[in-house]
Amino acid sequence: MENSQDISGGSKTGNENILEIRNLTKQFGKQGEIVAVDSLSLDVKKGEVFGFVGPNGAGKTTTMKMLIGLLEPTGGIGKVAGFDIVREIINIRKVTGVLPEPAGFYDNLTARQNLRFYAKLYNIEAGIREKRIVELLDMVGLNGAIDQKIGGFSTGMRKRFGLAQALINEPEILFLDEPTSGIDPKGAQMMRGLIKQLSRENDVTVFLSSHSMSEVEEICNRIAVIEKGKLLAVGTVEELQDMVREKEGVQYILEISDISLQDAVEKLSEIDGVFETRIRDGVLHVHADTGMRFEIAKSIKLLGGTVSRFEEDRMDLQKVFLKLIES
């Protein structure tokens, strides 16, 4: 079980990792036949908004559970804010905020009473506590519903309340499991705005899971793609795109004049590294390896054509995501 790789202890400085896992594994079932998380290794840096993305059943929730000590890993090790995920669970929970999925609150209590209860679990001094409750509910846009019972909240309000609940202890790291699932696009947009704001203003590291690549693309600095418990890729949006481009090639869009498009197609097809060239709506779509831009331009010039537009078709991340999963 012990991992031979050394991981550094938690530190608050600059680019240090606030979360590190090595070969984290979780198996379910009598003989461990269900491998929910498979040798997962990750580092999350302090201050990041880290996206954990994968289709349903990929193992996101299971991973999060292990990180906050609700599940014991079958194998591997992990540290959150410098605390061991097996032995120092309470310490981890003191410095983390979690919005689980599904999340329920006490419907018979008001938003304020709910938060007060959670605050008591951290033994926060009453004066500070009451102030913070108001601030948090204000921040998540529930200031009008502060003394309303949670039972009457909409799904969107609940999610936002859940966010406030996760922030009650001023956590260093926030775990958000599918924070926008089940709510309408407007609500989801509001949630994303809140997360961005949090990251900007409150100096908190966010570890969020989602099955939507577009969502993580919008708010995350770095993304990990997970499928069937395995990590497929980690990096910034650009890094992931590069990674795909590296593997899959790039789509170029060319507008040319002075020569026939058909000639251009024939010419380009002869070039090594160009996989496919098609004409669509009077423009050329060229699928080629990265770094073929110059070769393509040269070939058009040689034919006597003039390139009036030469763009790389930016792949949206959802496509990248699907590509990653397909491969």
Partner 1 sequence: MFIKQNFKKLGIALILIILLTLPPASADWSSVTVITSITGKVVLPGDTVEFPITIEKGHNNSDEAWCSLSIKDKSDGWSAGFYNDGDQVTGLTFPEDKNSSKKITLRVKPPINTPNGAYAIWADFKPDDGDTISQEFVVNVDSEAVLDLDIYSDMPGLETRPNDPVEFYVTLENDYDHRVTASINVAEKPDSWDVEFLEEGNGKYRITKTSIAANDKQNFIVKVRPSTNVSDGTYPVIVDVALENSQIGVSQQLDLTINRGIEEEKMLTIFPESKSINLNPGSSREIVVNLRNSGDRTLNNVELKIQGVSGITTFVRSFGAIDELEPGESREIPVEIKVRADASPDTKEILMRAVSDEAESEDERVEVSVVKSSSGGFIGIGMIIGALLLLVFIVSKFGRR
Partner 2 sequence: MKGRNVFVIAQKEVADHLQDTGFLVLLAIYTIIIFSSTYMSGSFVHQESSMLLGSINVKMIAMFAPLIGIVLGFDAVVREQKSGSLNVLLTHPLFRDNIIAGKLLGSMLVLAAIIIFSVFVSIGTLLIFYGVEIGYTEIIRIFVFTILTFFYVSIFLGAAVLISTMVKDGTDSLTYNVVVWLFIGILFGAILKTAIAILTGDISNESVLITQLLNMAPIHHFAEAVVGRIDLGFGGFNSAGSVIGGIFDTEYTLTQCLIEFKMNIVVLVVTPAILFIIAFIAFLRKDITL
Ligand X SMILES: Nc1ncnc2c1ncn2[C@@H]1O[C@H](COP(=O)(O)OP(=O)(O)O)[C@@H](O)[C@H]1O
Question: Taking the complex as a whole, how short is the minimal distance between the CB of residue 161 and partner 2, in angstroms?
Answer: 10
Between CA 14 and CA 51 the distance in angstroms is: 20
Question: Taking the complex as a whole, how short is the minimal distance between the CB of residue 61 and partner 2, in angstroms?
Answer: 6
Q: Which of 42, 58, 124, 296 binds ligand X (CB under 6 A)?
A: 58
x/- map, 52-91, Mg ion, by CB under 5 A: ---------x------------------------------
Question: Taking the complex as a whole, how short is the minimal distance between the CB of residue 159 and partner 1, in angstroms?
Answer: 22
Angle between helices 293-303 and 261-269 (to 10 degrees): 130
Q: Which of 74, 91, 113, 251 binds partner 1 (CB under 8 A)?
A: 113
Site stretch for partner 1 (CB under 8 A), options 21-29, 108-116, 128-136, 240-248? 108-116
Given the complex with ligand X, which of 169 and 180 has the nearer CB atom? 180
Asked if 18 and 24 touch (Cβ cutoff 8 Å), the reply is: no
- DSSP letter assigned to residue 56: T
Confirm or reject binding of residue 32 to ligand X (CB under 6 A).
Answer: no
Residue 46 amino acid letter: K
Question: Taking the complex as a whole, how short is the minimal distance between the CB of residue 91 and partner 2, in angstroms?
Answer: 8
Confirm or reject binding of residue 134 to partner 1 (CB under 8 A).
Answer: no
Sign of the dihedral through C-alpha 121, 122, 127, 128: negative
Given the complex with ligand X, which of 29 and 127 has the nearer CB atom? 29
Task: Report the C-alpha dihedral over residues 228, 180, 176, 166, rounded to 10 degrees.
Answer: -160
Confirm or reject binding of residue 310 to partner 1 (CB under 8 A).
Answer: no
Question: Taking the complex as a whole, how short is the minimal distance between the CB of residue 150 and partner 1, in angstroms?
Answer: 12
Given the complex with partner 1, which of 109 and 297 has the nearer CB atom? 109
Asked if 284 and 253 touch (Cβ cutoff 8 Å), the reply is: yes
Given the complex with partner 1, which of 109 and 271 has the nearer CB atom? 109
Would you tell me which residues interact with partner 2 (CB under 8 A)?
A: 61, 64-65, 68, 70, 90, 93-94, 96-98, 100-108, 117-118, 120-123, 162, 165-166, 169, 175, 177
Question: Taking the complex as a whole, how short is the minimal distance between the CB of residue 176 and partner 2, in angstroms?
Answer: 11
Confirm or reject binding of residue 114 to Mg ion (CB under 5 A).
Answer: no
Sign of the dihedral through C-alpha 84, 199, 15, 223: positive
Confirm or reject binding of residue 109 to partner 1 (CB under 8 A).
Answer: yes
Asked if 70 and 98 touch (Cβ cutoff 8 Å), the reply is: no
Burial (CB count <10 Å: 0-12, 13-18, 19+), residue 75: middle
Residue 133 token pair = 């409750």
Sign of the dihedral through C-alpha 281, 213, 216, 240: negative
Residue 114 token pair = 């709910």
3-state class of 167 per DSSP?
A: coil
Confirm or reject binding of residue 51 to ligand X (CB under 6 A).
Answer: no
Between CA 311 and CA 251 the distance in angstroms is: 9
3-state class of 1 per DSSP?
A: coil
Interface positions with Mg ion (CB under 5 A)? 61
Interface positions with ligand X (CB under 6 A)? 28, 34, 36, 54, 56-62
